[in-house]
Amino acid sequence: MADGYLREVNLELGMPQADAAIKRLTFELRNSVSLGAAAVKIIHGYGSSGTGGKIRIETRRYLESLKQRRHIKNYITGEQFSIFDENTRAAFLLCQDLRRDRDLERHNNGITIVIL
């Protein structure tokens, strides 16, 4: 039964370096668990500024390590965030808010959804 909610965190705010963004992500994920969120939508951008999307790359690398260590259940890249994706459908069962998210079906590579 889905009872947690979806939080949104913008890692691009203030245009931080990738390492500062990852520190903020760590804080925000821990805070989200404390607040009872079931999922967190991370806005990290996709590198349109010409820097290669370092925050996106480092965020996804970090989330993969958290998943491997079982600190998070899963993550869904914006490109995969679709009703046709098995992980997205599984996430709907944990967080109903995801069904109403504006980025569903937009294949937005500037976001990643974290399932806590």
**Measuring CA to CA, how many Å separate 80 from each of 39, 66, 87, 113?**
16, 19, 9, 10
Domain definitions of the chain by residue range: 5-115
Q: Are 87 and 77 in contact (CB under 8 A)?
A: no
Fold classified for 5-115: Ribosomal Protein S8; Chain: A, domain 1 (3.30.1370)
pLDDT tens-place values along the chain, 116 residues long: 457 899 999 999 988 999 999 999 999 999 999 999 999 999 999 876 655 589 999 999 999 999 999 999 999 999 999 999 999 999 999 999 999 999 999 999 999 999 99
pLDDT at 15: 87
Q: What is the largest distance, in Å, between two alpha-carbon atoms of the chain?
A: 42
